[in-house]
Each structure stands twice: as structure tokens, then as C-alpha cells.
Amino acid sequence: MIQFAKGRRQVSALLIIFAALLLAGCREERESEPMASAVPTDSRSMDVVLIGSEIEGVYLANAAKEAGLSVVILDPRDEPGGQLIQGEMHFLDEVQDGEGHSLLQGKVKELFDAYKKGTIRKAPEFRSYYGKLLEGIPIESGITVASVDFGTDPATAKKRIQSLHYRTPNGQAQTISAKYWVENSDFAALSSKLGLNRLPGVEVVFGGDKDYMASSLMMKFKNVDWATFKLEVNKLGNDERESKYGKTTTVTDMFTWGFGDVGGRYKPTSPQVFLRGLNAVNQLNGEALINALLVYNVDPSDPESIRQALELGKRESGLILQHLRQELPGWEKAELNGYPNYLYVRDYDRYETEYVLRATDLMSGRMFPDNVSIAGYKLDLQGTQHSVWGREMGHPDKYGMPLRAFLPKGYANVIVAGKNAGAAGIAYGSARIQQNTSIAGEAIGYLLGYLEKGKLPLTGLTDQQMAEFQKTLLSKGITVTGVQGKNKLDEADAGNRELYTREASRIK
């Protein structure tokens, strides 16, 4: 009996060792293959988690919360608001169709209505508006996405995100799970981790292996006499005005366009910056903001790249001030009025979605059965260091943006918002515009509530189910069906049409 007991203890010890080795092997397999990871039992669970706090995704978050879902925002930036709030990109250019009719709908229309009235023009007013959208939505700033756990959706066999591991600013490890995940950063903080194919960018037009449109630093001024500015510029005849300031130069009570020659006459101190034509907005009471200072080769995923770009832009702004004092009437006593905390980042890596918008879709006025936005705006490719003036590639009438252009390819519960929309390089020149994707974001937020109510899949909706949902958007002031866009492909320049074809050929 004693020998048997001893042998039993030896067997038990061997079993314990074997179990430990097996557990270690399983752990090693999970760490090397995230697809096998399970959701940690101690994780928080939400309906919707957004990564990033750009305004387009905040419209989605706001609508999802209104629809009764639990929502949280995990923001990789230290302060919320991205382009609109921290970058102070307050030159809001209204999207119109080919006949000049506004395409604004939903909550973003409310922003523009206040903007045009002058009740929202300055940074504090934008912050107040943004804060109201965030009411009741928790936000954690300064987080770092560490890793993602994946699984397989039983209904569709697509991949799904089960949980996400992140670090707080003080290094504390956190885990969260969710039904839906939204990429809402300006550097693909989440979607870059999903193993997707990068979509072709502006290199389709400007050449090179990989390139991005320039970022911008908004330039803020005070002591501007806008009334004199408008009077002196507009009293010139068209030929004299264009000869002095550049083509299409216009000054209204609210905006300016053109002034390309004013930008062209400025000699930047670094090849990393360029002053293009002046898009200025009258912020009232002698304050003005200009969107014109391009900064090249900014990597928004690299904090040091952002810091250097901000410092370079701030130094250049002081020199540009002297230039504007000499060039523009009413600006003789202008002074700098501080600086934004962040840049306006136009362009970074985007990844393949279930449908990728092409320039031919936009120029032909194509509509889709799963429309979540009616969009417009010229195909506007801002400059790169190799092509500083950029290029306009055509002027669509209006076109649809399908839900599929906001769903990463092969995933059942992931959404991309705002500048992450699935559009190839030329099409992105129009699709990227804030109003277009803000409407889509709000519509998708309501859609998530609709799906949960009906226990429907995000990626498997029938045309009939989608049509039923689209009807519900009418009560939210959003119409995405029964709209036709004009086919303007034949009006496009032959060279541009050739580039449209080249763009389409690079999409798998």
C-alpha cells in the first residue's frame, strides 16, 4: 500500500507537470495566434466602442446612444476633438450638388446652420457644440491600443473583434469587449491591426510607391478689418483682381477663395511647408482663420512627427503674417491670434472595405441600395511635396456612399468612420469631406440600434431590410433613397478619365 501510494503521488506529480506544460503550450499558442484568443472574463463590455474622437465618429456615437446602446470612446490623443476641436479646422465648406443645392442633412446641418448665422464661428463655440454631442458618452483620452483578440462570427463566418487590450496614459493595462467597434482615429489606430490591404492613395496621380496629401496648420489672426478687405478686393474688376491676387479670387461677408498668387509669391523657409491659395473665414470681431499652410510628410501615428510639424508651422505662421500685411488690404495691423493644439490631417493609410468607392462611381452619380449618405464635392487632391499645388480631378454632381464602404472587408462587427472611409485615392479627394462622412456616421449610429432591436447582422442585411431602415432615417432629417445623381463622366478631362481607370485597376 505504501508503494502504491508513493506511485500514486508520482503519477499525480507527473500529471500536474503535464497539465502545466499543456497550459503553457496553449498560452503560447494564444499569444502567437490572436484568432484563438477568448474574451477575458474580467473585461468590461459595451455595445459600441470607438477608437478616436473625430467629429464624424462622434455623430455615430451620439446616434447610437440615442438609439439606446451603451457607448464609450477610447481616444489615442491626449485631448478629444481631433481635426475640428484640437486642429481648429473651422473653415467649413458646404457640400453642394452640381446645381448649387445644399446636400447637408441631419445633425451636421445643424452645425452648418449655426456656422452660417455666426453663432458658431470661434473655438469656444465649436467646443460647446462638440461637448453637447458627447453628453452621456464616456471618453478615455491618451490610450494606446496594445492588441486585439479575434474570433469568428457564427452567422457569417467572417472575422470579428472580441476584445481589445489597451494601456492608459499611466501604463495601466485594460481590456474591453463590445458588439461593435468603430475606427475613428486619423491614423488607423485600430484598422491597421486587422490585417487588411491598404487602399491606393494619391500616388495613383502623383507617382511614387506611397504618398499622402499634405496636412495643414490653421493660421489664426486678430485685428483684421474684414469690411475693408472685402471692399478693396471686390471693387477691382475681374481681370484686375485675378491679375493681382489669382484666379477665382472672391471675398464674401464670410469667406474667401482664391488668392493663389498671394500664396505663390510667398517663399517658404523649408521644403516641408508651402502656402497655397487662401481659404479664409471671418470669425467676426476682427478675428479670422486661414486654411492655407501645408505641411508635408506628416506621420499622424508618430507623436514626434506631429510635434515637429506643429513647431515648423508655428514658426512659418509669423513670417506669413508679415507677407499678408503687405499683400492684403485690411490686414495691415493683423496679428497672430494663438495656435491650434493639433494639425488638420487630411490623409493617411486607409484599408480595404467591403466596397471601395472609385472615381467612376462619384463622377457617374452612382447610388447604392445600402446608401448611408448622399455626398458631393469636387475630387480635390491637395498637394504633396512632389506636386505642391495638388490637382482637381473632376466635379461630381452627387453620389451615394454605401454602408459597405464603411465596413472593413471580411469583418462582421467593425466599422470605419470619417476619413477612414473606403475610397481609392482619387475618389477620396471628395469622399473625405467631413459633411459627407458625418451624415454616414449618424446614419450608421442609428442603424446599430435598428440592428439590435431586430437582432439583425451588420454585414448580412438584405436590400429589403436596408430599405426599411432607410425609411426610419426620414424622421431624423436624413434622406438617402429616391435621389438621382447626374452622370458627368463624359464631361471629365480625358487625362482624368485615364487616371480614373488606373485607380480602379489597382483595387482588387
Give the CB-side neighbour count of residue 407, counting CA atoms within 13 A: 25
Cα dist from 310 to 15, 338, 347, whole Å: 61, 12, 17
Cα dist from 458 to 49, 417, 498, 505, whole Å: 15, 15, 36, 28
pLDDT of residue 6: 36
pLDDT of residue 216: 98
**Domain-ending residue, one of 295, 310, 336:** 336
Listed in sequence order, the residues at least 6 apart from 436 whose beta carbon sits closer than 8 Å to its beta carbon are 95, 373, 375, 376, 377, 401, 430
Q: Is 291 helix (H, G, I), strand (E, B) or coil?
A: strand
Q: Does residue 6 fall inside a structural domain?
A: no
Shared domain check, 153 and 219: no
Distance CA 417, CA 64 (A): 13
Give the CB-side neighbour count of residue 82, counting CA atoms within 13 A: 24
Q: Does residue 7 fall inside a structural domain?
A: no
Shared domain check, 97 and 134: yes
pTM for the full predicted model:
0.91
* Best CA proximity match to 415, nearest among 44, 147, 48: 48
Shared domain check, 315 and 227: yes
Shared domain check, 185 and 106: yes
Residue 468: give the domain boundaries.
33-198+348-508
Distance CA 34, CA 23 (A): 16
Q: Is 342 helix (H, G, I), strand (E, B) or coil?
A: coil
Shared domain check, 188 and 87: yes
Shared domain check, 108 and 244: no
pLDDT of residue 43: 60
CATH of residue 422: 3.50.50.60
Q: Does residue 16 fall inside a structural domain?
A: no
Q: Does residue 12 fall inside a structural domain?
A: no
pLDDT of residue 35: 28
Distance CA 47, CA 316 (A): 45
Quick check: 352 and 408 in contact, CB under 8 A? yes
* Best CA proximity match to 190, nearest among 420, 345, 434, 33: 420
Kind of pairing, strands 173-183 and 273-284? unpaired
State how many domains the chain has.
2
Shared domain check, 51 and 145: yes
pLDDT of residue 209: 84
Shared domain check, 297 and 266: yes
Shared domain check, 104 and 66: yes
Q: Does residue 341 fall inside a structural domain?
A: no
Q: Does residue 11 fall inside a structural domain?
A: no
Q: Does residue 23 fall inside a structural domain?
A: no
Listed in sequence order, the residues at least 6 apart from 258 whose beta carbon sits closer than 8 Å to its beta carbon are 242, 245, 246, 247, 248, 249, 250, 277, 278
* Best CA proximity match to 189, nearest among 85, 384, 49: 49
Q: Does residue 19 fall inside a structural domain?
A: no
Instruction: Give the mean pLDDT per block of 10 residues along the chain (508 residues).
Output: 36 36 36 32 82 98 98 98 98 96 98 98 98 97 98 95 97 97 98 96 90 97 98 97 96 97 97 97 98 97 98 98 98 98 97 98 98 98 93 96 98 98 97 98 98 95 97 98 96 93 84
Shared domain check, 117 and 49: yes
pLDDT of residue 5: 36
